[in-house]
């Protein structure tokens, strides 16, 4: 059974994110953020809250960072909409609706032989801003060469392109976009603690 502790999940997600980093952007670039996604109807507020709580357990990123009290960016809507397009999403939603404990709900998702790929897609979405089709992840979930070439991916939205947590973990920024002040490249990156606060 999968041991879904925050430590283990973050390790898995971070490793996945880092190994994907060099390829995902390249793979995404040709069709990258050309136009914003068509507006979707606002998700049910409670479902969105449960989705963020689940995402927090899966990624190790605090809920308040994913959905700050004052949040003009609101990338969680993009990720929710991306995930909700998957056929497995109603089942995932049912699990998190029925289980008030996000850690326990996340364990159920990640131990479900089908839903665990959707869970992985959600992790990758938060870290990379890219949507990997769970079916593709399942197909590529083999040892050795089966993991290559890089599976097709889609940048979820222009906002998602800039908001991947990988960039913050790496103290970096996506190609072509940085909020830092002019001349930042002349200086050492800001300390990791400025991007994320680490609790051991």
Partner 1 sequence: MRNLHLLVVSVGGALGVVGLLTWSASAQVPAGSTPADDKINPPVSNCNTIPDTDRKTPATATPITEDLLTSGQPCQQNVSPTGLVTSGPGPGMANLQRGFDFYSWLTFIAMNSPADGKVIGHGPRPGGDARTKWEDLQNYRPLADVMLSNGDRPIWGTRNVPDLCKPHDGPGKMIFQLGEEAFNQPFKTGPLIDQDGNYALFDILMNQPMFDFIVDKGLYSRQGQRQVDGDIQFPSGNSPGKDKDGKDIQGHMGAIMLKVSYRILDPVKNANLLSQFHTSDALIYFPGPPATKTGPACVEKKLGLVGFHVGHKTKFAPQWVWTSFEHVSNAPDAADVASGNLLPRYNFFSAACKTNCPVKNDTPPQPPPWDPDESLKFKGEYRSQVIREKLIPGFVLKEVADLNTPFRALLKGTVWENYMLLATQWPSDNGSHTDPLGAPAPTYLANTTLETYSQGKIPLASSSCMACHGNATTHHVPATPSDFTFILEKAQEAKKAQ
DSSP state of 88: T
Among 182, 189, 136, residue whose Cα is nearest residue 27: 136
DSSP E strand boundaries for 87-173: 130-131, 154-155
Out of 20, 24, 162, 166, the residue judged to bind partner 1 by CB under 8 A: 162
The phi, psi pair for 25, rounded to 5°, reads -65, -40
Q: Does the footprint of partner 1 cover residue 188 (CB under 8 A)?
A: no
Of the residues 70, 142, 143, 149, which one makes contact with partner 1 according to CB under 8 A:
70
Tell me the closest approach of the beta carbon of residue 47 to partner 1, in angstroms: 12
For partner 1, which is the closer residue by CB, 117 or 161?
161
- Nearest-angstrom CA–CA distance, 195 and 33: 24
Among 3, 7, 26, 175, binds partner 1 (CB under 8 A): 7
180 to each of 35, 128, 172, how far by Cα in Å?
A: 24, 20, 10
Q: Which of 25, 27, 48, 155 binds partner 1 (CB under 8 A)?
A: 48
3-state secondary structure of 154: strand
> 11 or 31: whose CB is closer to partner 1?
11
Q: Are 54 and 115 in contact (CB under 8 A)?
A: no
Stretch that binds partner 1, among 84-92, 98-106, 147-155, 183-191 (CB under 8 A): 183-191
Binding site for partner 1 (CB under 8 A): 6-7, 10-11, 14, 33, 36, 45, 48, 60-62, 64-65, 68-74, 158-159, 161-162, 165, 168-169, 176-177, 179-183, 186, 190, 192-200
């Amino acid at each position: 059974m999968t041991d879904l502790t925050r430590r283990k999940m973050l390790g898995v997600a971070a490793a996945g994110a880092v190994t994907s980093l060099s390829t995902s952007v390249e793979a995404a670039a040709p069709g990258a953020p050309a136009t914003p996604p068509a507006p979707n109807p606002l998700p049910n507020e409670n479902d969105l809250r449960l989705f963020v709580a689940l995402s927090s357990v899966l990624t190790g990123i605090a809920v308040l960072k994913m959905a700050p009290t004052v949040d003009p960016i609101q990338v969680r809507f993009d990720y929710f909409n991306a995930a909700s397009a998957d056929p497995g999403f109603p089942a995932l939603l049912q699990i998190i609706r029925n289980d008030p404990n996000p850690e326990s709900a996340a364990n159920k998702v990640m131990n479900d032989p089908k839903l665990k790929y959707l869970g992985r897609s959600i992790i990758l979405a938060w870290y990379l801003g890219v949507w990997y089709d769970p079916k593709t992840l399942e197909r590529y979930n083999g040892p050795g060469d089966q993991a290559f070439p890089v599976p097709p991916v889609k940048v979820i939205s222009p906002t998602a392109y800039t908001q991947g947590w990988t960039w913050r973990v790496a103290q970096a920024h996506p190609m072509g976009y940085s909020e830092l002040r002019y001349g930042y490249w002349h200086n050492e990156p800001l300390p990791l603690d400025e991007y994320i606060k680490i609790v051991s």
